[in-house]
Amino acid sequence: MEGKHYAHIAYKTILMSCCLLHVGAKTYGQDVSIQEKSVSLRKVFSEINKQTGYSYVWAATTIDPDTKVNLTVKKESLGNALGKLLDDLDLDFEIKGKIIVVHEKSQQTQRSITNQLMTVKGFIVDYNNRPLQGATVRVKGVPKGTVTDQHGHFEINGVSLNSFLDITMVGFAPLTIAAKSDLGTITLRALDEQLQEVNITVNTGYQKISKERVAGSIAQVTAKDMEGRLQPNLLDRIDGLLPGLNLVRNTSSPQNSKNNLGIEVRGRSTINAQAAPLIVVDGMPFEGDLTAINPNDIASITVLKDASAASIYGVRSSNGVIVIATKIGSAGKTKIDYSNTLSFRGLPSRSYLNQMSSAELVNFQKEMFNYRSGDYAVIDPRKAMNDVYRILYDRKGGVISEEEMEKRLDVYRNRDRFSQMDKFLNTTRFDQQHNLAISGGSDRYTYHYSLNYTQPGDYNKGRATNKELGFSLKNNFKFTDWFSLRANVLGKNQNREGDIGFNFYDNYMGGKASYYLLENEDGSPAQWYSSKSQFEIDRLNALGLEDETYIPLNHVAAIHEKFYNKYLNLNFAANFKIIKGLDFDMSYQSERTEGYNGTLNRKNAQSVVGMVNDATQIGKDGAIKRNIPQGGQFAEQRNDVNSYTLRGQFNYQNNIQGKHEIVAIAGAERRQINNRYTNIYKYGYDENSLVYKGINEELFGIQIQNTQALFNSYTISKKETGFKDLVDRFVSFYANGSYTYDRKLTLSGSIRMDQSNLFGTNIKNQYKPLWSIGALYHLPRIDWEPLDRWSVRATYGVNGNVPKDNGPYLISRVNNNLNYFNGEMQAYIDSPPNPLLRWERTKVFNVGFDFSLFKDRLTATLDIYNKKTSDLLGNTPLDPTLGWDMVLLNYADMQNSGIELGLNGKMIQRENFSWNSTVNFSYNKNKITNLYVEQNTPYYYYYAPQNRVGIPMGSLYSIDYAGLNDKGRPLARKADGSLVETTQKLTVDDLIYEGTTVPPYTVSFRNGFKYKDLTLSFMFIFNGGHVMRGVHPEFLSKYAELNYNNNFDKLWLNYWKNPGDESNPDIAPAFVSAASGNISDIFNAAHKFVQKADYIKLRDISLSYNLPAQWIAPTKLSYVRLTGQVLNAWRWVANKDNLDPEVWAGYSTVTSPSRGIQAPIIYNLGVSVGF
């Protein structure tokens, strides 16, 4: 019912918006009613503008707009009213689009009658190549001129040679140019663009303030900065554009722990609490998926980095705040913008994986078999065996000759499944995106509506992909001078449904060994074996059980998936002006996310038939007892998130005598987030009747004996986790204020107090004020000509963070499986009560410098900061006799210090050519400054990053590898120089500290070149100063036959075979029958495998072309832009193995993971048009 309620509200809002749009359009054609006596001509035209929306210009300098006139009309057409008004003044008018041009009746079009006169014409556009309608073009010193039409075109006859033209338009810088017959395209520069470095407005979510009064550290990009970037993902579009904001693309990086967004602002400020920055959209905290926000709707993105900027957001602000402002409508005619982007990419390179060929794998298996293999006579015929191993065992058992063995092995050496993939894979993946936006309005009502449709492609032919439809409806009403209203609706719907029983792409990039084919030589579908042999499959069939024959090509439809994710955001705000300088905002936002994932494993699915058979018991009389019912199995997960935010806020602004400016806000906020999760799993499901069969739940977690499983016993795990409901509540009070003296000195401060249910009801845990202070001073000019302006900023404040999974109260959870002894449901204590737990607190000091040189040709922002976080929460070892071996405590302190630099250079600025460059540099140094207890076992340090005092979080340790002995065994060197053969003889002090796995240095370098209507831009990014554990050969020991089902890395081929091989420093240890981790870790965690993780990438290249205005003038289009973009075109890496640090999964692990899948080159083509 709640979902229907939201849908009903959304429907009403959409209907209301459409009606208002229709009404707004109709008002431009309304009749006028005016009754005025002895008023100025200007006042009458102002009244006409209010009633109709038509603007006006005087086309002759002899017209006196202060002339007194009389006019009485009632519901007459605009034309009749203008005729009555102007007739007695000997004036006439023309209507061009929505502009009334007033001129003298006696003014005649002059024609060029001598060589001294000419006709001047041209097109006037803005920076984005949009035609400007209504621009005034006058001949300097002569009462002659005109205005541009809807296509930006103008033409003036009878202009003398050597004349100059004055071009003016509201909102744009005036321009004077020499007159000539064909002026081509003339670009006017917007006033806000001309003064952008000084007059930027910063949107903090709570207020909009001029950047020249902001003492805090902020970074901002606008829609203009993202032009030419066609990535469908918002985060990809802003990559590299904001100093201090880093995208963490590698999901295995320690940076991604507790960070669902993959974004970091100024490093890591927590260990176990939420690490992602707070996202704010149109003034309200945002709990939805960022993919719900259409990048084409973005007006600006502001990152609040220090305490002064972010502390107003309270306990969720210590990781930084990202404020997203979306586009709104503006008064004027309706504008329609449409864009389409087509993206295509080839298959990723398999050569990057460095995998063995089929022949190399067969030979490798043969070597391993010769080292040690089982007795042929005791092979279990029920278990499946790798095909190559089956041949080798047949030779060992004397079933076939050596010659026959090699003949059969050659068949597998020459097989290549990847060559069969063309039939099942698209060699090129196509994605497409459509965007449509409509905006406009009047002085009382503006609107901006957008629609976005995205359809990602897939490498698998015929496989269902996501279909994403998003929309945004933004309405702004100004009912009176004292009351205005905002009503916004944002929504996104993602759907995917299809068969997923076999993924061809996954089995192209990996999967089983390459000699396992999808089709036999005769074209028939090939059979694969998992754990059971053909003998076992036939035996089960003879007993009347399920058929476990697995044929990949026939298994595609065996599993069916249905997925959807629906997001709806309703955002309303009302503003009441109380007195001059004081107003009140009342805002409300409601968010709802409905996530669903249903997977139907049909009755013939490999997992289903295997599970049913394994749990089946057969009595001595042959009776079949199926403990898991026959039929399909259906899994369903739902995740619904409902949240609301209610805020009341007073805003005060006053400028006293032009010298003293006071800006302040104060308000209160209530917020609730409800996360509801359900998980069901049903057996014996029939997709036609939609019914399922029951199962004896007393069997969950119990080992059932005498079943048909390979080991004759089976345990049914409870897959249905049931229901979970989480509610977070916050009540907050806040205030922020600033005082500016003579536009030179600004002092600011803020305070916020949050109360939450996350830390119980104890007052001492509730009332934790977070605050900040700051100062900004615009330094006086000095006697150095290149310096335009410079300023210094300083802030200090306290932010906070809070964990969501622990608190001062006891937390218990219900176990999925029944108690083994009594069959009862059981619960366990997940977290003991700890009334001493405190919020994490981050103290931030920031000093910044801003300056401009060479008449704004070079601008720079420099920030130096120091963040100290105390009371960090983390799992700490405890005396097990107390009931827990680990418990969450406030156990550590951390410090982040760094430097950020943003440089913007207008390298060349010419009439037809410009070159702009931007450099963003960030350096962050992180270290643990206090720790309650440190691990003292070496194992923990080289298997996963551990925290130590004085060392950065996410650091890597390794073993001092001393090579191999004469038997091919690895040796470790202790700190005293002695050699050992086991890690049990190592201490933490014997380990080598390698450095951090988190890049402290981040640099982006962007260049943009514009020649007339052609724009070229490209961006390089650099991450460096960190390390990673590189790829390495495997420490080889006896593998079960089933384990040789993959094409391993070619490095595995290089291992110790004979005495003397140990002299090769790159060789792996000798094969051993069995080796514990105490031995193999010496090699796998060796210092020699740690490498630099630095890399440089050419992230994107974009080329855009704006069709000249005169080309599209005959059409109703206002602009046409064509864009081409290339992503992932080039990279350089510092490591010798050519590993891509953004996809390499082995940052800290000692095992041998995949090298990852390197991102292919992506080509984007886009077209944008405006009406």
pLDDT tens-place string over residues 983-1031: 999 999 999 999 998 899 999 999 999 998 999 999 999 999 999 888 8
Residue written as tokens 């901002």? 220
Tell me, what's the pLDDT at 616? 95
pLDDT band at 676 (very low <50, low <70, confident <90, very high): very high
pLDDT reading at 177 higher than 50: yes
Distances (CA, A) of 134 to 130, 142, 548: 13, 20, 76
Tell me, what's the pLDDT at 774? 92
Specify whether the CB–CB gap between 872 and 891 falls below 8 A.
yes
Tell me, what's the pLDDT at 834? 72
The H or E element spanning position 127 is: none
- Can you tell me whether residue 404 is helix, strand or coil? helix
pLDDT reading at 27 higher than 50: no
Amino acid at 308: S
Q: Express each pLDDT in 624-666 by its tens digit.
A: 999 999 999 999 999 999 999 999 999 999 988 878 999 999 9
Tell me, what's the pLDDT at 784? 80
Mean pLDDT of 64-69: 81
CB-CB neighbours of 1076 under 10 Å: 11
Mean pLDDT of 859-864: 94
Residue 532 per-residue DSSP state: B
Q: Express each pLDDT in 318-330 by its tens digit.
A: 788 889 999 988 8
Mean pLDDT of 1111-1123: 87
The residues that bridge with 472 in the sheet, in sequence order, are: 450, 490
pLDDT reading at 1045 higher than 70: no
pLDDT band at 277 (very low <50, low <70, confident <90, very high): confident
Mean pLDDT of 844-873: 90
Distances (CA, A) of 106 to 57, 118, 158: 18, 21, 16
Specify whether the CB–CB gap between 184 and 267 falls below 8 A.
no
Tell me, what's the pLDDT at 254? 52
Tell me, what's the pLDDT at 114? 39
Strand pairing class (218-222; 298-304): antiparallel
11's tokens: 């429907």
How many whole angstroms from its chain centre is CA 1034?
Answer: 36
Tell me, what's the pLDDT at 264? 85
| Residue whose C-alpha is closest to residue 296's, from 350, 233, 253 | 233
pLDDT reading at 109 higher than 70: no
Tell me, what's the pLDDT at 133? 81
DSSP structure string for 249-295: --TTSGGGTT-SS-EEESS---SSS--SPEEEETTEE--S-GGGS-G
Q: Among 13-22, 340-349, 568-577, 824-833, which is the least confidently predicted range?
A: 13-22
87's tokens: 């007739």
Q: How many helices (H) and strands (E) does the chain have?
A: 17, 57
Those residues whose C-beta lies under 8 Å from the C-beta of residue 46, and which sit 6 or more positions away, are none
Tell me, what's the pLDDT at 806? 62
Q: Express each pLDDT in 192-220 by its tens digit.
A: 444 343 345 677 777 777 766 788 888 88
Length of the chain counted residue by residue: 1171
Kindly state the percentage of the chain with pLDDT values over 90: 43
Tell me, what's the pLDDT at 1009? 95
Tell me, what's the pLDDT at 756? 76
Those residues whose C-beta lies under 8 Å from the C-beta of residue 147, and which sit 6 or more positions away, are 57, 59, 96, 99, 101, 134, 135, 136, 137, 154
Kindly state the percentage of the chain with pLDDT values over 70: 88
Q: Among 232-246, 251-265, 1035-1049, which is the least confidently predicted range?
A: 251-265
| Residue whose C-alpha is closest to residue 502's, from 468, 526, 520, 485 | 526
Q: Among 309-323, 339-353, 564-578, 1083-1097, which is the least confidently predicted range?
A: 309-323
CA end-to-end span of the chain: 41
Q: Residue 786 half-sphere exposure, CB side, CA atoms within 13 Å?
A: 5
pLDDT band at 1064 (very low <50, low <70, confident <90, very high): very high
As a whole number of angstroms, the distance between CA 92 and CA 74 comes to 21
Tell me, what's the pLDDT at 602? 95
Q: Express each pLDDT in 741-800 by its tens digit.
A: 988 899 999 998 888 776 555 555 556 788 899 999 988 877 787 888 889 999 999 887
pLDDT band at 11 (very low <50, low <70, confident <90, very high): very low
Tell me, what's the pLDDT at 8? 47
Residue 697 per-residue DSSP state: G
Domains and CATH numbers, the chain: 31-106 (3.55.50.30), 426-459+464-501+555-714 (no CATH)
Specify whether the CB–CB gap between 854 and 197 falls below 8 A.
no
Sign of CA dihedral 1057, 1060, 1066, 1072: positive
**In 456-556, beta strands by DSSP E:** 467-478, 483-499
**Higher per-residue pLDDT: 616 or 331:** 616
Q: Express each pLDDT in 904-933 by its tens digit.
A: 999 998 878 999 999 999 999 999 999 887
CB-CB neighbours of 910 under 10 Å: 9
Distances (CA, A) of 982 to 286, 1061, 1078: 52, 21, 5
Mean pLDDT of the chain: 84
CB-CB neighbours of 291 under 10 Å: 19
928's tokens: 């643990």
pLDDT reading at 94 higher than 70: yes
Left (φ > 0), alpha (ψ -120 to 50) or beta: where does 831 sit? beta
Mean pLDDT of 345-373: 90
Q: Residue 324 half-sphere exposure, CB side, CA atoms within 13 Å?
A: 19
Tell me, what's the pLDDT at 1072? 86
Specify whether the CB–CB gap between 939 and 983 falls below 8 A.
yes
Mean pLDDT of 546-558: 95
pLDDT reading at 18 higher than 90: no
